[in-house]
Chain A
């Protein structure tokens, strides 16, 4: 079996906040097209791990290699890597002073000098894909949480990323808004987008994940296909976590 070069390699990655070790010896490969779901108790380092990938947090040990390019201190290098990685935040972080359309066109126009007309076309294309093209001229505050999160996904997609990172994208949403966002993510997964997703939505994980990653106390405890992880978790910590998270399902 031939193995394609990984889209993302993490080798011995470590991260400390002061003396507190947030990540320790993280080793992970993400293949092109792979859909990885990261779960674990709160404070286990899930968010910190994916935030290290586009340098929202700085890792202090090990290597992160994205699409063959190592993430270094160099500002230009960091910008290059960020332009290949789409990020969706828990709290959307849309730009409140810009319309939905301007939120989407700003990155491509400033970073890649895409002409405005072309950037608008791309933006409208992705807004249609997340099913809110009719909101293009509104401001973020005029939209519901679910709609804002879908705009945030479209904003990330407008940069034509090679890897999409989701940091608990549905945790801040009202329950009735969650399915709309998950539908968009499932669709994205089915189109072959490489994704890493921190989420507590285990239904979503079972539906789309190729690989489950379970973290605890800054370490990766278990990596495996979802059937195995949900059906037969190896570690006690994963068993405990699953029994807690699934007890009301």
Chain B
């Protein structure tokens, strides 16, 4: 019998001790779930009690027509879901731009070019140290007329440049956490810079970049609500309009928040599913 087979046989004989049941101990999952349930009930009770004390008239039955309507068997999107479509459009376009701006800025920051580094640094500092709302006004009132773009694209560009400044640092950190030896090995086999980035560095950096980048895209979805101040007809704008007509502030804001939550949570789950797929044989 050779060495490997012998050690395998030895391993097979040594079984781990049986696990103790944790069901009725302090670490029991049942107690966890009970704690959570108590918390949820308390929050709901507080909300209802608060609404009752201010004589709020709940009208949940009126909400569904603002989500969708079925007329003559035809499904029609209500203003909230129409707003959701616009929010998703804004998110999609600004996400693509954000990722592009982030990568380019990160590469400029790490490049040997002095002017490249300077441009990247000025951009980062300017964007990160001014309020998003002020940037949005600059894009809408100053840049949009100059470039001849409408309010939708002014919003998309503003969000992309804003999130891009944070994304650049995420990508830079990811690229820098790939060990130096990997860059050197890529150089040593004579790859050019682009091939080295594409085949060696990025594939190792992406699993590191993905979790914080997901957080950034979730921020982007949430920040997209701010374009309501330049009256782009997205989810938050639609919510504001409905409330000004119906005065159902509680119901509509809860609904709007739930819709945002549904998108961001499903994005989180999608990315963690992706991450499991991206693991290589470590």
A binding-site residues for B, Cβ under 8 Å: 54-56, 75, 79-80, 82-83, 85-87, 89, 91, 93-97, 106-107, 110-111, 138-139, 141-142, 155-156, 159
Residue of A nearest to B203 (CB): A97
Say yes or no: A79 contacts B204, CB within 8 Å: no
From B179, B184, B188, B204, name the one whose CB has the most chain A CB atoms within 10 angstroms: B188
A94-B190 contact given A139-B280, A142-B281, CB 8 Å threshold: no
User: Please, which residues of chain B bring their CB within 8 A of the CB of A138?
Assistant: 281
User: Please, which residues of chain B bring their CB within 8 A of the CB of A155?
Assistant: 189
Task: Report Cα–Cα, A216/B75, bound state, in Å.
Answer: 83
Task: Report Cα–Cα, A111/B282, bound state, in Å.
Answer: 28
Residues 203-235 of B at the A interface (beta carbon under 8 Å)? 203-204
- B58 interface residue (CB < 8 Å to A): no
- B248 interface residue (CB < 8 Å to A): no
User: Please, which residues of chain A bring their CB within 8 A of the CB of B203?
Assistant: 97
User: Please, which residues of chain B bring their CB within 8 A of the CB of A83?
Assistant: 189-190
A107-B281 contact given A89-B181, A89-B185, A95-B182, CB 8 Å threshold: no
Residue of B nearest to A79 (CB): B190
Residues 166-217 of B at the A interface (beta carbon under 8 Å)? 179, 181-182, 184-185, 187-193, 195, 199-200, 203-204
User: Please, which residues of chain B bring their CB within 8 A of the CB of A156?
Assistant: 188-189
Shortest Cβ gap from B7 to chain A (Å): 14
User: Please, which residues of chain A bring their CB within 8 A of the CB of B280?
Assistant: 96-97, 139
Interface size class for chain B? 20 to 34
Task: Report Cα–Cα, A7/B76, bound state, in Å.
Answer: 77
Residue of B nearest to A155 (CB): B189
Task: Report Cα–Cα, A234/B226, bound state, in Å.
Answer: 78
User: Please, which residues of chain A bring their CB within 8 A of the CB of B192?
Assistant: 75, 79
Say yes or no: B189 contacts A96, CB within 8 Å: no
User: Please, which residues of chain A bring their CB within 8 A of the CB of B204?
Assistant: 95-97
Task: Report Cα–Cα, A129/B281, bound state, in Å.
Answer: 25
User: Please, which residues of chain B bring their CB within 8 A of the CB of A97?
Assistant: 203-204, 280
User: Please, which residues of chain B bring their CB within 8 A of the CB of A56?
Assistant: 184, 187-188
Shortest Cβ gap from A172 to chain B (Å): 11
User: Please, which residues of chain A bring their CB within 8 A of the CB of B282?
Assistant: 96, 139, 141
A111-B191 contact given A89-B181, A94-B185, A141-B282, CB 8 Å threshold: yes
Shortest Cβ gap from A52 to chain B (Å): 13
Shortest Cβ gap from B280 to chain A (Å): 5
User: Please, which residues of chain A bring their CB within 8 A of the CB of B187?
Assistant: 54-56, 82
User: Please, which residues of chain B bring their CB within 8 A of the CB of A91?
Assistant: 181
Task: Report Cα–Cα, A97/B190, bound state, in Å.
Answer: 19
Say yes or no: B190 contacts A89, CB within 8 Å: no
Say yes or no: B188 contacts A54, CB within 8 Å: yes
The residue from A75, A110, A141 contacting B195, defined by CB atoms under 8 A apart: A110
Task: Report Cα–Cα, A206/B179, bound state, in Å.
Answer: 35
A106-B199 contact given A93-B182, A96-B282, CB 8 Å threshold: yes
Shortest Cβ gap from A244 to chain B (Å): 29
Say yes or no: B189 contacts A106, CB within 8 Å: yes
Task: Report Cα–Cα, A155/B188, bound state, in Å.
Answer: 10
Q: What are the 10 A-B residue pairs with the smallest beta carbon separation, nearest first?
A: A139-B281, A83-B190, A107-B189, A93-B185, A87-B188, A82-B190, A93-B181, A110-B195, A97-B203, A97-B280
